[in-house]
Structure 1
């Protein structure tokens, strides 16, 4: 990543496994004059981070200072230390960006429809397989109710997590913005 950043162009990083490693990459990029701009989930390839050069003078100075202090950073050498609060803030930003709310609503409704159809198919197959229609309908209804309960529980957990990340970002001075696509994000006041 740091080798790519030496060219001064926007950088994309793919195939990072954990949220902690994503946040660590964003924090290190910031130490070398880049600003985190977004994270998108690529279906099977995992998340993809996007960085752009930070044009602010203090970012340029910090990058020069760290290039002198950590000359081997781009070849796997020592990296600047990352404070825990900075790491937590990047975790919140990346998590919020990954859990796009509009996508979540669409996925949840699609899941409801798919589970309803599957339970209906279960009821029909049981009814055709020799089970009484009443028993088949009861089994399908119980399965549907159980699956809907689990789905609602998972959605509520996701909403609570999203609210927690939003609170962390608001406390840190980030402002909520809505992109043209309708996706909500939290951006720092210095975002350009």
Structure 2
């Protein structure tokens, strides 16, 4: 992740308003690094979502006294951070927790039923081309193989979510269910976004 994205986000944070940010590749690790730097300068991670083919995070101003003190100290120590100066060193542990949180939220944006429907629809669409070009035997065989992969993909997604959930619970995060039924993890009470 380039420092250009960090500096752009830091300049936008000067408005005091919520900020959306993404990286060139939009990886969860890159987004976690952005969220880490936002938290060093008075903001906190709020949520992640997909916009087109990129992932985007939303950071909001932090309201806690510890967050304000950390921001004031970092702005004093790194006054040119938004314009090309030095940045605070990365804390790999904090980035790992943010990465787990972002990954969990992106992995749970659809329920299992929705994921099943989207996967069946997508795999059917993939099999239509070979069916038209090579006939029913090839297209049907491809479709059957793709359908056989669905349970494997669902189990892999459950394990991925469970691994991230375990990391978050170990860091003191609390599992909650949004009104729309989507599970999320909120940080310990002192760092919860409003």
Kindly indicate whether residue 52 of structure 2 is the aligned counterpart of residue 43 of structure 1.
yes
Cα separation, 2, equivalents of 1:8 and 1:118: 46
Q: Which residue of 2 aligns with 1:149?
A: 148
Is the Cα contact below 8 Å between 1:102 and 1:182 reproduced in 2? no
What residue in structure 1 maps to residue 86 of structure 2? 78
157-166 vs 143-152, which moves further: 143-152
Report the counterpart of residue 159 of structure 1 in structure 2: 158
1:46-125 correspondence to structure 2 within 5 Å: 46-103=54-111, 105-113=113-121, 115=123, 122=131
SS at match of 1:186: strand
The alignment's TM-score, normalised by the length of structure 2, stands at 0.81
Aligned to 1:31: 40
Cα distance, 1:115 vs structure 2: 3.9
Structure 2 gaps of 5+ residues are 1-8
8 A contact 1:36–1:52 mirrored in 2: yes
Question: How far apart are residue 7 of structure 1 and its match?
Answer: 2.0
Return 93-102 or 163-172, whichever deviates more. 93-102
Distance 1:49 1:118, change over 3 A: closer
Tell me, yes or no, if the aligned pair for 2:42 and 2:70 is still in contact at 8 Å. Answer: yes
Aligned CA-pair RMSD? 2.4
C-alpha displacement of 1:168: 0.4
Structure of larger gyration radius: 1
Task: Measure, in 1, the Cα distance between the counterparts of 2:128 and 2:78.
Answer: 62
Aligned partners of 1:38 and 1:50 also within 8 Å: yes
Q: Secondary structure at the match of 1:78?
A: coil
Q: Is the 8 A contact 2:18 2:58 kept in 1?
A: yes
Per the normalisation by structure 1, the TM-score is 0.82
Q: Deviation at 1:16?
A: 4.1
5+ residue gaps, structure 1, are 128-135
Is the Cα contact below 8 Å between 1:23 and 1:87 reproduced in 2?
A: yes
Contact 2:78 2:88 in 1 (8 A): yes
- CA–CA separation in structure 2 for the residues paired with 1:94 and 1:56: 21
